[in-house]
Chain A
Amino acid sequence: MNEIKTLINKELTLEWRQRYALNGMVLYIVSTVFVCYLSFRLKASQLNPVTWNTLFWIILLFTAVSAIAKSFTQERAGRLLYYYTLASPQGIIISKILYNSGLMLVLSLLGFAFYAFVMGNPVGDLPMYLLSIVLGSIGFATTLTLVAGIASKADNNGALMAILSFPLILPTLLMVMKLAKNALDGLDRSASLDEIMVLLALDMLVVALSFILFPYLWRS
């Protein structure tokens, strides 16, 4: 527990020290939203809610991939070797997952605020929609963290990250988009219970697998 706390602290300090990376990601999501806004020729009010929802989740997906892809590559190999001697691999993967979840939460809530600001906000059940964003961010972060670990071991990891992660993330993405659509239409909350349960189950599965598999990845 203590180890995880220290490691998260380390991630935060590191992020704060290289603020350009964090600012870069915030700028990435803001400018993507703005590009979408301009591409629809400012007629955001005519955007159909399904398109609105899909566009938002695709923006989040790309932000997540590019934000989390760097979680194993921003530190040099020598330093990773140093962590290897200090901490257990389980502690490292759990702290990375927690840290990336937090990062994704901040980025996606910020992104949502800006998206709703420029593209209009047709959401019927806002608390539920925010819940879908929270679950989606955590789901993206858990899956992508392990994939980033895998891709960082290969040489051309930029392209590899995309082809490895898109198919793996799709079950989460489809579920969270459905949940978000229910919230968008303001459906009764009991209608979304299935999706929430499946999302939580998927998250748990992925975390458990990361916990078991990461030590093997780490050793190579």
Chain B
Amino acid sequence: MRSNWWKVLGVLLLVYGFGFGLMGEVPRRNILNESIRNVYFHVPMWFAVTVFLLTSAIFSIRYLRSNNLQDDTKAVEFTNAALVFGMLGCATGSLWARVTWGDWWPNDPKLNGVTISMLMYFAYLVLRSSFDDSQRKARISAVYNIFAFAIFVPLIYILPRLTDTLHPGNGGNPAFGQYDMDNQVRRVFYPIIIGWILLGVWIVSLRLRIREIEDQLQEN
């Protein structure tokens, strides 16, 4: 139990975030209105995706240095988690876009960047499935994973800032924190980010254990 404190913490933060996020006070803003509550669900998804992909890239680097297959498995599972969170982020973002911008999928550089990076990471999974030898698979997909992360960062965080986008904080739009958030929102927003990330890490650790069991079953 002592090593599981972070799971408890994650659940508590999520319960806190859901409770106050859905029922707490939020500031009234034009256009956003009540939909500002989505900031607790949509924005943390992308924080989590970035954290997971970064972790995945780090495990790939570690694999190339150590040749330890476990590092490679961790890299894949973090990518899988990032893909799930990314799809949830797309879904929540799409709902939000419908309410505030009037379109399910507006033509926006950030959305396009996200779609491209999803394709990039699905291609990573396809690449993995095309090898039989596990060391070879691990090595080559690690190279691709590091490369993909290096393209992901400019795609999501640099290119949208150069063009006009609907998202706050880019293309001359003011960032979220400056106007739209008040302290009440921040008190829910930051904890729930950590909560979502911990939940994702928990999912990854479960998946890793399932894999380990499957591997042992196959050996016997």
The reply to whether A202 and B116 form a contact with Cβ atoms under 8 Å apart is no
Contacts of A216 in B (CB 8 A): 64, 139, 142-143
One of B119, B140, B150, B162 near A150 (C-beta < 8 A) = B140
Query: Does any Cβ of B come within 8 Å of A170's Cβ?
Result: yes
- Chain B residues numbered 151-177 whose CB sits less than 8 Å from any CB in chain A: 151, 154-155, 158-159, 162
Query: Does any Cβ of A come within 8 Å of B120's Cβ?
Result: yes
One of B117, B146, B155, B162 near A213 (C-beta < 8 A) = B146
The reply to whether A213 and B159 form a contact with Cβ atoms under 8 Å apart is no
Q: A150-B127, A167-B123 are in contact. Are A220 and B139 (CB under 8 A)?
A: yes
Q: How many residues of A contact B (CB 8 A)?
A: 28
Contacts of A166 in B (CB 8 A): 119
Q: Decide if the interface of chain A is mainly helix, strand, loop or mixed.
A: helix
Contacts of B159 in A (CB 8 A): 171, 174-175, 198
The reply to whether B123 and A209 form a contact with Cβ atoms under 8 Å apart is no
Query: Does any Cβ of B come within 8 Å of A153's Cβ?
Result: yes
One of B64, B130, B146, B148 near A154 (C-beta < 8 A) = B130
One of A155, A167, A194, A217 near B162 (C-beta < 8 A) = A194
**A206–B130 CA distance with the chains assembled, in angstroms:** 24
Contacts of B139 in A (CB 8 A): 216-217, 219-220
**A163–B147 CA distance with the chains assembled, in angstroms:** 14
Query: Does any Cβ of B come within 8 Å of A205's Cβ?
Result: yes
One of A170, A195, A209, A219 near B147 (C-beta < 8 A) = A209
**A116–B136 CA distance with the chains assembled, in angstroms:** 46
Q: A202-B154, A209-B150 are in contact. Are A167 and B119 (CB under 8 A)?
A: yes
**A213–B117 CA distance with the chains assembled, in angstroms:** 20
CB-defined A-B contacts under 8 Å, sample of 11: A146-B147, A150-B127, A160-B127, A167-B116, A167-B151, A171-B159, A174-B159, A206-B150, A209-B147, A216-B139, A219-B139
Across the A-B interface, the 6 shortest Cβ-Cβ residue pairs? A167-B120, A167-B119, A154-B130, A163-B123, A213-B143, A167-B116
